[in-house]
Amino acid sequence: MKLVCNKAELSKAISLAQSAVSNKSTMPVLGNLLFEAADNALTITGTDLEIGLRVKANVEVVNPGSVTIPAKKLADIVRECPDADIEISVKDGTKIEIKCGKSKFNIMGISAEDFPNLPAQKKDKSVQIEDKVLARMIKKTAFSVSNEETRYVLNGALFNVDGKKVRMVSTDGHRLSYIERELSQSMDSVSAIVPTKALNELTKILDNGDEVVTVYFTENHLFVEKNSTMLVSRLIDGQFPNYEQVIPKKGDVMFKASKEELAQATKRVSLMASDRANSIKFSLKDGSLTIHSNTPDVGEAEEDLEVEYSGAEMSIAFNAKYVLDAIKAVDTEKVEFRLSTPLSPGLVLPVEENADSKYVVMPMRT
């Protein structure tokens, strides 16, 4: 195999594919990228057996062929090369030579035959969705996915299509994020749990444009194609919790506040919350909100905010981080909280007509 490629294009393709490479596997080949050169195109593939990324780059193929190259070492070499064309050639099956300007590197690869095949792409069910819509839905839900391995079914976001609506939901048991959007036409019904890593890699592929992206689902896998990149990921096997039971249907106590002012006040008061519990208290009465935190032997903090308020007086405690995450996820100037009792979930909403997202934060006992 021998090819010549522009440094910038090669570096971009390697960076995308490398994010799927395994850093902990006992299989050495999973630390490599698969290079396949043919017909003046280079296909680079990385996988950790849970997720795979296949990226195509335009190159001059002198001799077609394939090999796997250590991902990190290759990325380091390409990054440090001067801004010139890079030549990669393979001798004796796995001896790789990289030339750029006056620099030359020799590294050992592994036979392409040892690299695992990605799952075959089947188009059992598909959903077409605008790039920017999918990117926004991931952004609004990925932050509240659980990272506890014992709660495996929560280690991803639910992707659900029913008729002409698409929804994404995530929860870690302490808070929940929900967003839904109308589709331009009816699509296949789909319900699948997409792992966190796949969500993170998708955000690198999507560019918030108007292009329509097609997402394919099989029983066990998700496939997404965007321009010269294809992502494949295992889906999480299991039953996602009934999220509709968690989302409050009403709130007798309601307040609206400036998103920025509420976020800043919450952040300041949380400085005096204990590192372990991170608890702050919201106290509402007479059109004002008092945010308070107290840690024995450390100190306390308090701040008052004027808010639009209706309902009875109430005090309720939250984890400061969860409240801040929900507030930051709202992309309107004002944010609305709906509360019921001090031990009932709080509902956080953007203040706008036809809001498409909502966030639930569980209270803390004080």
Identify the pLDDT of residue 145: 97
The answer to whether 106 touches 95, Cβ cutoff 8 Å, is yes
> Residue 115 pLDDT > 80, yes or no?
yes
* Residue 258 or residue 183, greater confidence: 258
The answer to whether 37 touches 61, Cβ cutoff 8 Å, is yes
| DSSP 3-state percent helix, strand, coil across the chain (nearest 5) | 25, 45, 30
List the Cα angle 71/72/77 in 5-degree steps.
Answer: 100
Sheet holding 314-319, edge to edge: 299-306, 288-295, 279-285, 314-319
pLDDT tens-digit series, residues 302-354 = 999 999 999 999 999 999 999 999 999 999 999 999 999 999 999 999 998 78
Chain centroid, CA 280 distance in Å? 28
Identify the pLDDT of residue 167: 96
The fraction of the chain above a pLDDT of 70, given in percent, is 100
**pTM (global) more than 0.95:** no
Residue limits of CATH 3.10.150.10 in the chain = 2-114, 125-244, 248-361
CA atoms in the 13 A half-sphere facing the CB of 134: 29
Q: For 125-244, which CATH superfamily applies? A: DNA Polymerase III, subunit A, domain 2 (3.10.150.10)
The answer to whether 19 touches 205, Cβ cutoff 8 Å, is no
> Residue 45 pLDDT > 90, yes or no?
yes
Task: Answer whether CATH 3.10.150.10 is correct for domain 248-361.
Answer: yes
Type and span of the H or E element at 310? strand 308-310
| Best CA proximity match to 60, nearest among 34, 35, 42, 78 | 42
pLDDT tens-digit series, residues 99-108 = 999 999 999 9
CATH architecture type of domain 2-114: Roll (3.10)
User: What is the average pLDDT score of the chain?
Assistant: 93
